Amino acid sequence: MRDHIVLYSVLRKYFIETRRYILNMTMSIAGFLMLFLIVFFGLQSFGAEAETLKGSLVGFAMWIFAASAYSELSWNLIEEARNGTLEQLYLTPSSFRRISGYLVTSSFLFQFIMFAVFLGAMLLITGQRLALNPGVIVLIGLTLLSVYGLGYIMGGLSLVFKKVQAGNQILQFMFILFLVLPSFTDHPIIYFAPISWGNVLINRMMVGGVSLLDISMSNFLILAVNSLIYLLIGLAVFTYLEKVAKKRGLLGHY
């Protein structure tokens, strides 16, 4: 029952902050939308094919989703440390590992809503059509596990070094490279890079119109194993850096 209360509290916190700072979120969506329109109509002016335009639409939406989801945990830890409440989270009856898991879950739900709004706005403005198969939610969820793994690494670094915003920004642009990598090569590296293979499968569903059942088990397993490995590595690094932060007494102040 306690876990339900903690999850509800985290979700309620997200809702309150979103409602309170709705203008900031609206301006962020508008800024990303303007950036996308520049890229989209730029490609269109160069005579890009319809499939390329749709692929850029899906890839850009996934970049926004991944970049926001990845930085959520580290930014939360930085804010908690800045506000002086990080140490209090470690003193709650629920372990911080569970709380961070609830933060990730809440982040996914809210970021998915923003992803849906952003994608809907792009489709409406550009007049493009995508196959919105419900099964794509499974692929998006699996793909983002690797993103959250990287988020845990940056979260652990933020516990020890406090300011890691520059690293966050660098990795956000690295996600662009990971997303476009399959367009330039069919080298097996796309199976190992985070979100690359997931973006390929998501494109097959949303652009190619295939269903989740049409994706072979081997392709699905590659995505699942890739994402789980990144998530486990991220948790392991976070656990180690968490111990370092506790040993140095870095949790109680910014």
pLDDT for residue 50: 67
- What are the residue ranges in the chain where pLDDT is below 50? 1
Q: Which residues contact 133 (CB under 8 A, 6 or more apart)?
A: 205, 206, 209, 211, 212
pTM (predicted TM-score) = 0.85
Q: What is the pLDDT of residue 65?
A: 80
Predicted confidence at residue 229, as pLDDT, reads 95
For residue 224, the model assigns a pLDDT of: 93
Q: CA-CA distance, 198 to 221, in Å (whole number)? A: 11
User: What pLDDT was estimated at residue 125?
Assistant: 82
Reading the block at residue 196, the tokens are 């690359």
Tokens of 43: 């490609």
Tokens of 78: 């930085």
The pLDDT tens digits for 100-156 are 778 878 878 887 887 788 788 888 888 878 877 888 888 988 998 898 888 888 888
The count of other CB atoms within 10 Å of the CB of residue 137 is 11
Rg (CA), the chain: 19
